[in-house]
Structure 1
């Protein structure tokens, strides 16, 4: 098993968010589903003017929020899924053309994965060689972003369309994985991807059989490919950003919660720090490690309770608790009521 890493150098670390090309056609799509684009953008803190310039940068939390808000206000629970279904590679701007200008479908996937960190920061994207197939992984890793289902479904739809651009609309992956819980209308996901779809997985992934990936890309253009790659690299260098220790810690904790209680030493090691150094840097922000864990659990608890199809009995392991009773005690400490009472009062509803 091997994976193709991002492009070399530190350019990807300097990107400010996600390029506005990722929102191509968004306002029109919101309107077609009965939503008010101005209201959706306003609530999400996005300047509509930015959407007119595909090489300008949107803050990633605002981008994920605008997709969730569009789903909520339009009443279309599968908004990201359908938005991704119609999203053509050309709409992704520089990143899309990097795929289109590649030599083969396989090389398009490799180049797309390598360039993605320059298009969107605070995200994992990798193409893992599993022998008979590739596993295309995607995951937002921004500690401030809790609601990211719509973005995940959109992004895997974008990757799907890059492949179908050459192999045809009947092409389907072996399977599709999503990290979020199964939504109510999950059968639609099976129809869109024409494949088995699994939820509550460690990562958002497409499993792509290698057969047919040697097909030539019709728009293959080596010279233009180099121009697109260089342009994206230059954009990523233009917006330096200092790492946010709280966001980075939250992102590591959220991944750890899926396997159990977060441990300071383990989280610090993942971040390339000593436990003492991580504690000191959090203390400089007026926080402790345990306080960051507790606040994130609290926010995630209300996030999961808002998903009515998710049984309350399933929440404890999602929050890193080994027993439901421990989760219930924590929830009463946060809100003075049980999770069941919270949901029955409608406080967990959108």
Structure 2
């Protein structure tokens, strides 16, 4: 496979919709704060108050944050320092999945699959050739101002988190960056931070290491939790992908459906009126978008059903009511069609994974 990826194969949203989850961005904020940065000024630079819990940032805001922090602190290696502080909580939505993988090959596959839960900064790829594993990091945003801090933080973060999973240092042979070496940073600073020889001006950001590392077991991994955590992460990823790529009209309709389900008012006419449209106009616009109103109602119910069932304070009858079902049997029938099990069985499976989520 070519080390480069066309933009349209990365499955990233357009730049105006590309986001960085607050938990991932929080590592950069915490690093800046620990180094003495003025968070108020950083917030002004990126156009977002850096309060806790940190909201999601746009990709542009995140890049502004890295750049502003490096300039304010006079730290040209700020990206490397952010990466070195990355931990389980940084990888929002899928870090726990990696902790339940049997070996690093499985963890690498899940990283490539789920990293969209943490950010739209780029996508990972693993290729093996003649006993060498090549970790490629592809990003369409590296032409934006000072994006070198981004790729440096990503590579340092992958190294730091892999060491944490292994409980020790993993071997690697080389790191390559696409950008030129900054004149103010000696090569030794990069090599101390990353623990390997570093070069610049490569066609793609790359980390090379012995392929045998992929088959190394992850110490203390509780593989019994993997199926449930992987399923939950898959659900979150599907929802996030849809939110990132679908037209604003569909997001608005879903929100109105959500607000009206429990009152049995999630009808085409009710939603159209709330959006100051006629039912015919809304129906026509949904037809143009290729999504029937009934499908949006069904999708919204399915996603809310999972959210409500994880809240053990709600009885199954209450969950059915919140979703607009007046009969428990109707809810059970719909749920079986969605997940091939009863709501009660699904809740038991979700509770089994809850201790691991709380431990994180």
Query: Do these two structures clear the TM 0.5 threshold for a shared fold by scoring above it?
Result: yes
Q: Does 1:106 align with 2:105?
A: yes
Name the CA distance, whole Å, in 1 between partners of 2:121 and 2:104: 26
What are structure 1's unaligned runs of at least 5 residues? 243-350
Contact kept in structure 2, 1:177 and 1:203, CA below 8 Å: yes
1:235 paired residue among 225, 235, 240: 240
Larger CA Rg, structure 1 vs 2: 2
Q: Deviations over 1:125-152 (max 9, x none)?
A: 2122223122111132138723211111
> Hey, what does 1:187 align to over in structure 2?
188
Counterparts of 1:150 and 1:96 in 2: how far apart (Å)? 22
Aligned-pair CA distance for 1:27: 2.9
- Distance (Å, rounded) in 2 between the aligned partners of 1:110 and 1:132: 18
Q: Distance in 2 between matches of 1:27 and 1:162?
A: 18
In structure 2, do the counterparts of structure 1 residues 38 and 144 end up closer, same or farther at CA, with 3 Å as the change threshold? farther
Partner of 2:73 in structure 1?
A: 74
Aligned equivalent of 2:280: none
Q: Using the alignment, how far apart are the partners of 1:70 and 1:209 within structure 2?
A: 35
> Secondary structure in 1 aligned to 2:215?
coil
- The question of whether the paired residues in 2 share the 8 Å contact of 1:174 and 1:196 is answered with yes
Equivalents in 2 of 1:165, 1:77: separation in Å? 25
For 1:159, the equivalent position in structure 2 comes to 158
- Judge conservation of contact 1:123–1:140 (CA < 8 Å) in 2: yes
Q: CA deviation at 1:10?
A: 10
Aligned residues: 236
8 Å Cα contact 2:124-2:136 kept in structure 1:
yes
Distance 1:61 1:30, change over 3 A: same
Q: 1:237 to 1:204 in 2, by over 3 A?
A: same
1:45 to 44, 47, 70: 47
TM-score, with structure 2 as normaliser: 0.58
Change in Cα spacing, 1:73 to 1:122, as seen in structure 2 (3 Å) is closer
Q: CA, structure 1 residues 40+10, in 2 after alignment: closer, same or farther (shift >3 Å)?
A: closer
3-state secondary structure, aligned to 2:80? helix
CA distance in 1, matches of 2:177, 2:243: 33
What is the CA-CA distance between 1:69 and the residue it aligns to? 1.1
In structure 1, what is the equivalent of residue 214 of structure 2? 213
Partner of 2:198: 197
Q: Over residues 187-220 of structure 1, what are the superposed CA-to-partner deviations in whole Å (9 max), with x where a residue is unaligned?
A: 1210122111011111111112122322333334
Greater CA deviation, 203-212 or 190-199?
A: 203-212
Alignment partner, residue 225 of structure 1 = 230
Does residue 177 (structure 1) correspond to residue 182 (structure 2)? The answer is no
Give CA deviations for 1:74-114 in whole Å, capped at 9, x if unaligned: 11110110111121133221132332232211110111012
Residues 175 and 196, structure 2, Cα contact 8 Å, conserved in 1: yes
What CA distance in whole angstroms lies between the structure 2 residues aligned with 1:141 and 1:212?
A: 28
Displacement of 1:13 after TM fit? 4.1
Q: Check 1:11–1:142 CA distance in 2 against 1; reply closer, same or farther (3 A cut).
A: closer
Give distance in 2, aligned partners of 1:40 and 1:11.
30
Q: Classify 1:232/1:97 alpha carbon distance in 2 versus 1 (closer, same or farther; 3 Å).
A: farther
Partners of 1:119 and 1:232 within 8 A in 2: no
* 1:142 match: 141
Task: Please state how far the C-alpha of 1:168 moved relative to its aligned partner.
Answer: 3.9
| 1:20 counterpart residue number | 22
CA distance in 2, matches of 1:169, 1:162: 10
Cα distance between partner residues in 2 of 1:85 and 1:21:
16
Cα 1:57/1:236, change in 2 over 3 Å: farther
- Deviation per residue, 1:239-284 (Å, 9 max, x gap): 3367xxxxxxxxxxxxxxxxxxxxxxxxxxxxxxxxxxxxxxxxxx
